[in-house]
């Protein structure tokens, strides 16, 4: 067997239920916008919809960071 061919055992599948957290940014931005768009609230002279979407970027980044941290802790980040 050549040196560049590494013999590996069977790949075991670990449950990745935490990946459902990645649906949170989608639901935040797409599903909730019709409800949030009806708010007439202005926060610091900034429309509430803009504040909501900006907060969605932070929520999405946090969800991706949590999923990455869990995958890294399990050792799954390298073999996705």
Q: What is the pLDDT of residue 50?
A: 82
| pTM value > 0.75 | no
**b/e for 41-61, b at 16 or more Cβ within 10 A?**
eeeeeeeeeebbeeebeeebe
Per DSSP bridges, beta strands 46-47 and 42-43 are: antiparallel
Domain locations in the chain as residue ranges: 17-71
* Residue 74 confidence (pLDDT) above 90: no
- pLDDT digits 0-9 by tens, 3-29: 556 666 566 666 777 788 888 888 888
């Amino acid at each position: 067997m050549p040196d560049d061919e590494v013999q590996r055992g069977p790949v075991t599948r670990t449950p990745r239920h935490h990946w459902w957290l990645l649906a949170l940014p989608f639901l935040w931005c797409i599903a909730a916008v019709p409800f949030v768009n009806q708010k007439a609230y202005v926060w610091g002279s900034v429309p509430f919809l803009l504040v909501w979407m900006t907060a969605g970027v932070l929520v999405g980044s946090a969800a991706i960071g949590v999923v990455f941290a869990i995958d890294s802790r399990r050792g799954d980040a390298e073999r996705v």
